[in-house]
Structure 1
Amino acid sequence: MAKPAPRPVPVPQKRRFRLTGRTVLRIGVLSLIGASGLLAGLDMFAPPTAEIPASEGAALPATATPLGRLATWSRPALGTRIDQPEYAEASSGNPISAVDGKLKSAWEPRPKQPGWLSLQLADHHGPRLLLVWQAFGHHYLYRRTIPKTYRLLASDDSPDGIGGMWRVLETVTENRVRTRGHVVTAPGAKWLRLQIDGSWTGTPSLTEIVVYDLKGEGPAGCFLVLGDGISNASLTQFTWEPARESADPQPVPLFINGGANGLTAGQGLKLLGQALAVTPPQTYIGIALGSTDALTGTPLPQFERQLQQMVDAIRLSGHLPLLARPPWNPQIKDYLAVIDHVATANGLPAGPDLYGWFQTHSADLGMDGFHPTPAGQAAIRRLWHFSVLKTMKGKP
């Protein structure tokens, strides 16, 4: 006996918003270039926790067997993203604000009401889709703007992103982070929808939503950067791809922004446990810390101990750490020496050298000599981009 057709998810009617001109909705086609790699943002891989010293105030996930310094890593699968103008629909608010690539604009549903945003997909995509979203805020755990409970849905027959039959692909509850990636299976889908059913304290505010088409059987490459406000303001999925307008775009990984303004190594150690809980094995995790520690005077032995504990926790969880050299400032030299020592002692691949860049490009720093200008943020994106691709394509 045939199963009854799924009932459509009820949604309010709304006029359409057409996206014209330069690309504002990024629907990508990924050409995977590795036989094995990484998954992004899935909840099922959360390992058990291993307690670290109470003085550091955090519990970090860990697997039973550490990778070790000489662990063998296979190349992750990267992908090429191809942009094209499409449509977006929403239950309320302006959906363009979530797909225009502007960090200061955001889509917000009506307060205290469930809301949804639908994205039209390119024709002839594969069965696996990767959706990435990021909420407005200055902290990885900024609850005021993030969805707490939400679903991903797909429609094969919707003519406009509003009506038609919709099926649930994934349900997320108790979300605590402001940026996530989801791999879902939706062969033949014409539209993909993010349905927000509940929030923590305020109205969800999403600054970007991106969809990729995954080609091949290997999982998608994933890179998470845990850093202070310097990296937090510079790196998002939209801005992660400096060559996205090029006629020959380069393969890129999925990027997850785990930054928080004013983050010290001690605070990063606490935040790391939250990040690893929703990050699957063999993710590249970049650590971009030291600037705030230098300004606040964190004792060097404490800074080194906390940095080493982060490296150990990342490896114990089945990931690969990558340490960035923070931007130049008068107080940073001693902390830079600690970062270099930890990277060398642990045999880590070279991270982006922000110190070297800003030492010779001081005009890329703002009036405070600490935070980067827009040109400096572009330089940070470029340095991270090249460092990540070099590491992923080579042997860590």
Structure 2
Amino acid sequence: MANTTAAFLLCGMCASYGITPNKLVSGGLPAHTGATTTDYLTDGYLTNWKSSSAKEIALNVGEGPKKLLINWESFGDCAWATDFTSGCGHSGVALSNFKILTSANSTDGTDGDWEVAATIQNNPVMARGVTIDFAGKSWFKFASEGDVGKILEIEAFDMSAGGTDTWFFMGTSISQMGIKQQDTDSTTAQLIHAKFPEYTPAMLRGGIGCINSTEVVDHLSEYLEYVGNVKFWAIEMGTNDAWGGGDWNLNTYVSNMQTIIDSAKAHGITPVIARIIATDSAKAGWQINPAYLEAVDKLVKENNLPQGPDFYSYFKEHPELLASDGVHPNAETKGGQAMHHLWAEALAPLYAAGDTATKTPDSSTTLKMSGTFMVPRIYAQGKNIFVEGNLLNVTSVTLVSATGQLISQKALSKNYGQVQFENIPTGQYIVIIRGKNAVQTSTVRAK
């Protein structure tokens, strides 16, 4: 049986979280480091482990963008910050003290006239982004004053239209390993772009080994300072809070997560929370207490958040993707790769809904009820998927795969009571219901 009403409610506000694209304009461009150029700093492959320690790195992205978001990622030991937790020691040199300069007339990244667009001082984290004015310019460059560490990647995104497709992946060692350290066929951002070509997500990776929710709250002001300009926080948190399988720390975890949610929302950030990854209890000797999973589900529902990936159910069914400790994703069996794919599948409904950030729902539409969307019944029977209810002002109902492939679209011109999609293969799908200036999405699984 499908995830019906509950799943619809969990993504019931997808329209209000509409994502405005921000085009990647630096992909594959040569990065000029003095007399030489590199291609690995802009190749999008965040696990190629090729890095640069050049004090000046320049890119010519061409004229056009009025504003750029410039992201960078450094290596270190793959932890986002080195001193946020007492449980593990982390090391690495962040890109700390530097300027970002712009030019309209340089020919090689060295000559020409340059203006300071941003000055960054005492930056302690390994991944971050800043927005700069770029009208009339074609080049930007990093000019560092001290040790730059090992820079893995530099990305520039056109923010002229006020893009909101920016993501920070907050997490524990599960994310430090799975999202950053381990090889993958594609990152979450690349998977989204493959299915929704209009979008090129800006993706910053922020896993920290040993961190728990209390330590995140202790450093929340620093998270907000360094990635408070990111519009979505993709959060994997709870393994260290729930360590050992008991529930003694549950109330603290719930309180901390609510603080994180409230603080993010207050800064215009939408949190998307993953269900805590399952352990291989035969190896770890313990399993996540169900109370923590219930708590995550309740936090998502009560805070009206988009639904994150279900790491628990997936890794419970696939313990071979966990390492010998039974807790962390296994690089050799593609545990980290699975995390990227699960994040992409969970975020797909937000992209399938389209760019709704500038749309205002029509207050007269019958899709609305008491300030929220009326919920039709969406369910699967056998190989058929049904949408039932008051569809008076619905203009179309679309079915896409979990990663965005169009399956079928039905235009509605009268008061249908039911829409049916027949002979659908087994799998998870997204139902997109469109009305005048209103969009709703829901997930449903056909078996």
Contact 1:242 1:382 in 2 (8 A): no
Q: Does 1:120 align with 2:60?
A: yes
Contact 1:131 1:212 in 2 (8 A): yes
Of residues 166, 178, 181 in structure 2, which corresponds to 1:234? Answer: 178
CA shift in 2, pair 1:246/1:259, >3 Å? closer
- SS of alignment partner, residue 207 of structure 1: strand
Partner of 1:224: 168
CA offset digits 1:142-177 (Å, max 9, x no partner) = 384112221111222322223232222111223232
Contact 2:176 2:207 in 1 (8 A): yes
CA offset digits 1:162-200 (Å, max 9, x no partner) = 32322221112232322111222224434321111235x
Paired letter, 2:315: F
Structure 2's unaligned 5+ residue stretches are 1-11, 83-90, 181-185, 282-286, 354-438, 442-447
Contact 1:226 1:268 in 2 (8 A): no
Contact 2:214 2:256 in 1 (8 A): yes
Partner of 2:153: 208
Partner of 1:348: 305
- SS of alignment partner, residue 153 of structure 1: strand
CA offset digits 1:209-228 (Å, max 9, x no partner) = 112234x5324422222111
RMSD of Structure 2 on Structure 1 (CA): 3.3
Contact 1:151 1:195 in 2 (8 A): yes
Per-residue deviation, 1:324: 0.6
Per-residue deviation, 1:380: 1.0
Of residues 319, 323, 327 in structure 2, which corresponds to 1:366? Answer: 323
- SS of alignment partner, residue 314 of structure 1: helix
Partner of 2:341: 382
Q: Does 1:333 align with 2:289?
A: yes
Of residues 255, 260, 263 in structure 2, which corresponds to 1:305? Answer: 255
* Comparing 312-321 and 347-356, the one that deviates more: 312-321
Of residues 179, 183, 188 in structure 1, which corresponds to 2:127? Answer: 179
Per-residue deviation, 1:381: 1.1
Per-residue deviation, 1:290: 1.3
Larger % of strand: which?
Answer: 2
Larger Rg: 2
CA shift in 2, pair 1:252/1:102, >3 Å? closer
Contact 1:153 1:167 in 2 (8 A): yes
Output aligned runs, 1:244-259, within 5 Å: 246=194, 249-259=197-207
Paired letter, 1:372: P
For 1:349 and 1:99, the matched residues in 2 are separated by 30
CA offset digits 1:52-83 (Å, max 9, x no partner) = xxxxxxxxxxxxxxxxx999945231245477
Q: Does 1:320 align with 2:270?
A: yes
Contact 1:73 1:395 in 2 (8 A): no
Q: Indicate the percent of aligned positions where both proteins have the same amino acid.
A: 23
- SS of alignment partner, residue 241 of structure 1: helix
Output aligned runs, 1:180-195, within 5 Å: 180-195=128-143
Partner of 1:99: 42
TM-score normalised to the size of structure 2? Answer: 0.62
The number of residues matched between the two structures is 318
Contact 2:51 2:151 in 1 (8 A): yes
Per-residue deviation, 1:383: 1.8
Paired letter, 1:239: T
For 2:36 and 2:213, the matched residues in 1 are separated by 39
Per-residue deviation, 1:98: 3.0
Partner of 1:357: 314
* Comparing 294-303 and 133-142, the one that deviates more: 294-303
Per-residue deviation, 1:117: 0.8
Q: Does 1:87 align with 2:30?
A: yes
Paired letter, 1:130: L
Contact 1:81 1:249 in 2 (8 A): no
Contact 1:132 1:209 in 2 (8 A): yes
For 1:285 and 1:195, the matched residues in 2 are separated by 29
CA offset digits 1:107-153 (Å, max 9, x no partner) = 113xxxxx1111232x4543322211011133322384112221111
Contact 1:290 1:332 in 2 (8 A): no
Partner of 1:130: 69
